[in-house]
Amino acid sequence: MRCGRTDDCVSVLLRPRGASDVRHERYDVLLRATGLNTDVARTTHPLLAQLRESGMVRPDAHELGLDTTDALEVVDARGRVVPGLYCLGPLLRGRYWEITAVPELRVAARWLAQALVERASAPPAVQSAPALQSQRSPSSSPRPGPGS
């Protein structure tokens, strides 16, 4: 839950999964090896927590990141697109299962940059990210992206 460094140790507050009791432990070393922290509903990341609490973002259906449109636009707690707020990277795992490695990030970033340039010079239109394959079911095997 929380940790902090003292003069002689790392002080940690722990709550085992499924338990309600919190316990205090002291360690010489602490390694955080929990993988990607994309659980929007439970994150303690200050910016993401503030966006969630203000209703500007909501978790995706799989609770693997943010709810977004096919055009990478962030969806708020009421289901509306947040104008000017887009998402790239691991927080898109609920929509595009394979989106954490550089090749996929590069494709998504290029597509978004091109879409933003086009939107700046054209009337608003609904667009989708055709270069990215939607992975609606994270339990299914990942499909290869473009150029695979």
Per-residue pLDDT reduced to its tens digit, 81-115 = 988 888 888 888 878 777 666 777 788 888 888 88
At 45 the three-state DSSP class reads: coil
Q: Starting at the edge strand that comes first in sequence, how are the strands of the sheet with 23-27 ordered?
A: 2-5, 10-14, 23-27
- Rounded to the nearest angstrom, the gap between the alpha carbon of residue 7 and the centroid of all alpha carbons in its chain is 35
Residue 110 domain-assigned?
yes
Residue 139 domain-assigned?
no
Q: Is the pLDDT of residue 136 over 90?
A: no
Residue 83 domain-assigned?
yes
Full domain range(s) for residue 65: 57-121
Give the pLDDT of residue 100.
67
Q: Is the pLDDT of residue 127 over 70?
A: no
Residue position matching structure tokens 């902090």: 4
Could you tell me if 3 and 30 are in contact, meaning their C-beta atoms sit under 8 angstroms apart? yes
The answer for residues whose C-beta is within 8 angstroms of residue 57's C-beta and 6 or more apart is 40, 48, 51, 66, 67, 74, 75, 76, 77, 82, 85
Residue 109 domain-assigned?
yes
Residue 5 domain-assigned?
no
Residue 94 domain-assigned?
yes
Give the pLDDT of residue 143.
36
Residue 85 domain-assigned?
yes
Give the pLDDT of residue 78.
94
- pTM for this model (two decimals): 0.57
Give the pLDDT of residue 132.
58
Residue 40 domain-assigned?
no
Share of residues in the chain with pLDDT > 90 (%)? 8
- Rounded to the nearest angstrom, the gap between the alpha carbon of residue 122 and the centroid of all alpha carbons in its chain is 29
Give the pLDDT of residue 79.
92
| pLDDT confidence tier of residue 47, bands split at 50, 70 and 90 | confident
Q: Diameter of the chain by CA atoms?
A: 61
Number of structural domains the chain divides into: 1
